[in-house]
Structure 1
Amino acid sequence: MPQFAPTRRTRLPAIRALPTRKGRLGYVLSGHGPAHVVLFSGAGMSLQGWEPLYPGVERIARVLGWNRFGLPGSDRPRGPQTGSHVVASLRELLAATHLAPPYVLVAHSVGGLYANLFARLHPEEVAGVLFIEATHPGDPLVLKKHATQVERALSRVLALPNALLRPNLHSELAGVEQTVREIEAAGSFPDVPLRVLTGGLTPRAWLMSPAAVGARRANQQELARLSPRGEQVIAQKSGHFPQLTEPRLVLRVLEELIVEVRTA
């Protein structure tokens, strides 16, 4: 079984900026491992949310992380961010940074919708997928209903002012229904190694009702069935942010996924 030996440093590499057709995107690109990993953050979640995975992730992959429009280091969005717009801006970034496919997509929360769409639109460029508490196409109505609570929760988790998170969060939630329609109209999810990492802790009642929790847990299991090589892993000590609360587990699951990709 692959082994991960963490170190104490958890600082991100320097964030660079790329001018694109729709505005400037902030990104980090580092690492020298055999796989090419692309990180998809959740709505309102900046690159800071991946910091606990560094530098361990850099030893197992060449890693591209990026801030979508509306997050610090990137320009404000020019309207609702639908999945097709997000995927197009990512592909522009990938081309500019010369990060060649195939990719292992690592997606958290709403970022799971964008990774889901990317994998369906460009299956030949995807080697594997790791969904971390990822949004299922059936989840967005719950997210929109609780948008204010999500904003407050993110602000507490990241220790950032709400004003820094709001432009991205609101523009992405405004486009999420269109993103779901785009996923439904895209091709099949590819037959690739897939892991679905789900938080084992139950959300507080003010954030999600018991009925919504049950529906979302069923949707997490359904995500794992997208590929015949899919598997669900429970992060027993985590809620919605396993990459913050159990980064060693996230890295272990990612490393095992990369080994499966390379030996497939």
Structure 2
Amino acid sequence: MGARDKPFRLGDLPPVQRLQTRCGALEYVISGEGEPAIVLFNGAGVALDGWRALYPDIESLGAVLAWNRFGMEGSDDPPGLQSGAVVIASVRELLSYAGLAPPFVLVGHSLGGLYANLFARLHPAEVAGVLLLEATHPGDHDVLQMDEAQLTRALRRVMALPEWVFRDNLHAEVEAVGHVVKEVEGAGPFPPVPLAVITGGAPPPKWIMEGEALQARLAHQRDLARLSPHSEHVVARRSGHFPQLSEPGVVLATLERLVRAAA
């Protein structure tokens, strides 16, 4: 039975570990074996549990590292402005201490896709492939300008988490998102590596996004798929903003193709 055919279920995450970096301690999980290693970038305010439905199947694709950015659950509070440079420096340090060597396959969900995009531009020699999962585009102004109250309401409804779990991370990343966009726009070109973009096919509630904003966002998703000449654009037709929860088989099948191409 292939990954696409397996029923939805929540898997068991590996034991959570904690590592001290120069900017503070970070929580992470690491499991699986093989190269290239896969690095998961959560969306803003989303913890490690947001990847749970991909486990344990994702471990068969290679070594996998998932982590909580500063301000999320057991990771330390953000060390000042949570810029893209801070996020990427911290994960590169974490990967080094964890014994995972580049090049990596980067998987970025939502705002995590913006960080994965920046990582690939700043360190192209360390990237074997990129999966952008309902990823934020630098031009997604309606998404980027959503206030914390809207995002908090959305996360409470989708993730069923108490606000204290994600409040510090969400505040830090909303505060810095304009800076991160400028970092992406000022970085080098996106490398010509294998790229997959997964877009949810189910429209979001109107209180999150309406009409013209939704069409602009879909155009931006197609634009992301043009970042590399070696790309695939997949529409997860039964999913909204969290295909890794609603259609984990689609995500795993796409990631498997990407890993093979990257290897």
TM-score by length of 1: 0.95
Task: Tell me, yes or no, if the aligned pair for 1:155 and 1:165 is still in contact at 8 Å.
Answer: no
Q: 1:1-264 counterparts in 2 under 5 A? A: 3-4=2-3, 6=6, 10-262=11-263
RMSD, matched Cα? 1.6
Deviations, residues 171-222 of structure 1 (Å, cap 9, x unaligned): 0011111111111111100001100000000111101121111111100000
| Separation in 2, partners of 1:252, 1:17 | 30
SS at match of 2:77: coil
SS of 1:251's equivalent in the other structure is helix
Structure 2: tracts of 5 or more residues without a match: none
Structure 2: which amino acid aligns with 1:29? I
The aligned amino acid for 2:43 is: G
Structure 1 distance, partners of 2:116, 2:251, is 17
Identity of aligned residues (%): 55
Tell me, what secondary structure is at the counterpart of 2:63? strand
Q: Which structure 1 residue ranges, 4+ long, deviate > 4 Å from structure 2? A: 5-9
CA spacing shift, 1:154–1:252, aligned 2, 3 Å: same
Residues 1:61 and 1:6: Cα distance change in structure 2 (over 3 Å): farther
Instruction: Tell me the distance in 2 between the aligned counterparts of 1:251 and 1:94.
Output: 22
User: Residues 83 and 160 of structure 1: is their aligned pair in 2 closer, same or farther, counting only changes over 3 Å?
Assistant: same
CA offset digits 1:107-138 (Å, max 9, x no partner)? 00000111001000000010000000000011
TM-score by length of 2: 0.95
